[in-house]
Structure formats: C-alpha cells, structure tokens
C-alpha cells in the first residue's frame, strides 16, 4: 500500500483550518447575538439559556471558504528536511520474529503526535511535523522506516536499546 503522505497531511491540515474558522465564526455570531439582545432583558435571558443548554441550532456562517480553498504551505504539512530510509532485517534468517512490527510501534509510539495505522503501514508525524512511515512487507523479512533525517539518531537509539534488546538471541540489524 502506497499512501501519498503529503496529500494526506495536507487534507488533514485543511480540515483543521476549516474547523477552526467555522468555530471562530460561530463564536463571533453568538457573541453578536448576545450584544444585540442586551437591550431587551427577556431576549437576553432567553439567549443565555439557549447558550448554556447549547440549543442554538442553526447559525448561518457567511463567507466561509470551502475546505479545498484553504491554502496550506508545505511547512505546515511535513518538515522538508531530507528523508532517510531505514531497513530492519534479521541477519541470520530471512524473517522477523512474530509480533516484532507491533512491538516496534509500541517503542516508537511516544514520538508520534499524529498517527494513522493500516494493516502493514503506519503513517505519522511528530510534533515538529517530521515524517515517520513504517512499512511491513508481506514476506515479513524486513520492515522499512521512512523518516526525516533529524529523527535518525533518536530512532536508531530506540531500536537498539528498547526493541533489539528484547530479542537478544536474534541478530537484528539496521541498514540505511
């Protein structure tokens, strides 16, 4: 499975921006309704009740752009540092231990700010928008990580100290 991570994260950012705009417009309209109704005490009491009980159902939001019209710069999508590919393999045998992929995800999970999981693919970003893409191949003889170069040393340390140490009798290696 090959997912265009730039398009995926761009769509995600556009949806976030749209939702932020929609919430801000709704907040302003609610605020304006309250200001205008302060002249009329009964209307004010009614609006406060509706706001507290979230019963204001239809608020028309004028001039809100569609999600596709929201412009997202590349720096908001993914850190554009160089991308590095790491392969994890078993030196002696042509397969990785059962549960290795899942244990890898558990070890690397703290790095993720956002994560999307499929059967043999995990796609995510760190808080600073660095890419982490983890692929397991059907042959189960290797796992490939596609990451930003700035994560290489950190992920290499996690793999060696947290993951590989769990399998002391297996000769696991990292290829770049």
Q: Kindly give the pairing relationship between strand 142-148 and strand 131-136.
A: antiparallel
Q: How far apart are CA 66 and CA 131, in angstroms?
A: 27
Q: Is residue 156 part of a domain?
A: yes
Q: Which domain holds residue 28?
A: 5-70
| Total domain count, the chain | 2
Q: Is residue 76 part of a domain?
A: no
**DSSP 3-state of 48:** helix
Predicted TM-score (pTM) of the model is 0.73
Q: Is residue 164 part of a domain?
A: yes
139, pLDDT greater than 70 = yes
Q: Is residue 50 part of a domain?
A: yes
For residues 21-26, average pLDDT: 88
171 and 94 within one domain: yes
Instruction: Tell me which of 70, 98, 122 is where a domain ends.
Output: 70
**For the segment 83-115, what is each residue's pLDDT rounded down to a tens digit?**
999 999 988 788 898 899 999 999 999 999 999
128 and 50 within one domain: no
124 and 42 within one domain: no
Percent of the chain at pLDDT above 90? Answer: 41
168 and 116 within one domain: yes
Instruction: Tell me which of 70, 104, 119 is where a domain ends.
Output: 70
Q: Is residue 75 part of a domain?
A: no
49 and 119 within one domain: no
161 and 95 within one domain: yes
**For the segment 25-41, what is each residue's pLDDT rounded down to a tens digit?**
888 888 877 776 665 56
Q: Is residue 77 part of a domain?
A: no
Q: Is residue 14 classed exposed, middle or buried when 0-12, 13-18 and 19+ CB atoms within 10 A define those classes?
A: buried
């Amino acid at each position: 499975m090959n997912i265009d991570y730039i398009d995926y994260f761009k769509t995600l950012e556009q949806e976030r921006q749209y939702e932020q705009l929609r919430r801000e417009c709704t907040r302003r309209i609610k605020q304006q309704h309250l200001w205008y109704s302060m002249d009329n005490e009964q209307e004010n009491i009614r609006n406060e009740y509706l706001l507290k009980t979230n019963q204001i159902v239809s608020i028309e939001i004028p001039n809100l752009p569609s999600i596709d019209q929201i412009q997202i710069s590349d720096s908001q999508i993914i850190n554009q540092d160089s991308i590095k590919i790491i392969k994890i393999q078993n030196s002696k045998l042509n397969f990785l231990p059962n549960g290795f992929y899942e244990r890898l995800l558990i070890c690397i999970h703290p790095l993720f700010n956002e994560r999307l999981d499929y059967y043999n693919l995990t796609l995510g970003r760190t808080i600073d928008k660095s890419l982490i893409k983890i692929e397991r191949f059907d042959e189960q003889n290797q796992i490939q990580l596609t990451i930003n170069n700035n994560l290489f040393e950190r992920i290499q340390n996690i793999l060696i100290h947290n993951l590989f140490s769990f399998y002391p009798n297996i000769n696991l290696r990292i290829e770049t």
